[in-house]
Amino acid sequence: MNRREMLRLVGAALAIPSLAALSPEQLLALGRRIHRQAGPRVLEPTQSRIVTTVAEHIIPATDTPGATAARVHEFIDLIVAEWYADDERARFLQGLADVDAKSQDRFGKPFLEATPSEQIALLGALDDEVAALRDAGDRETARRHFFQQMKHLTLWGYYTSEVGVEQELHYVMIPGRYDSCAAAGLGNRGGD
């Protein structure tokens, strides 16, 4: 998948209605601007650690850095704080609380104390919930599901970060450095 296809996919399914209409180039430029501003905003420390852990399970470190190295949790914190409407923010924060509650019900411990395999199993169950909603024709509820939001925010945050752009996509910016505010279309993919 190339950068344009990935951003189009993320843009088409984002849980923020005003962002769904943006072009891939606009999503890339906006994502880069947001990375420049990233920092703790609304998430409490435990919530931030849950977001960090979930994002890292979505895009784990392999031969390239994962979501944590890309500071996706800070990106998501800023989006939730500054871009989400109050009801969207409350729904997202409730989703984090639900992840913790489901872990407590399923494993007898909070999400962050669960083993990585338990965490992955729980996230798989959440992903199955999203798939069941889509299969039942309830695309709107599926789109608004916490885990669906987390996946899309993680992808958007990762693939607009310096790590995602340079190390995963091998995108070479002209004049040859990552610039979070560079206009889209001024560089090219290296190695292609």
pLDDT digits (tens, 9 = 90+) for 109-122: 999 999 999 999 99
What tens digit of pLDDT does each residue of 132-186 get? 999 999 888 888 899 999 999 998 888 887 776 655 655 555 555 555 555 444 4
**What are φ and ψ of residue 110, in 5° steps?**
-60, 160
How many domains does the chain divide into? 1
- CB atoms < 10 A from the CB of 165, how many? 26
Residue 117 sits in which domain range?
A: 3-189
Per-residue pLDDT, 17: 54
What CA–CA distance (Å, rounded) separates 129 from 186?
40
Between these two residues, 27 and 182, which has the higher pLDDT value?
A: 27
What percent of the chain is modeled with pLDDT above 90? 45
Nearest Cα to 144, choosing from 17, 3, 4, 47?
17
Per-residue pLDDT, 192: 43
Residue 158 · residue 59 · CB < 8 Å: yes
Report the predicted TM-score, pTM, of the whole model to 2 decimal places.
0.69
Distance of alpha carbon 117 from the chain centroid: 20
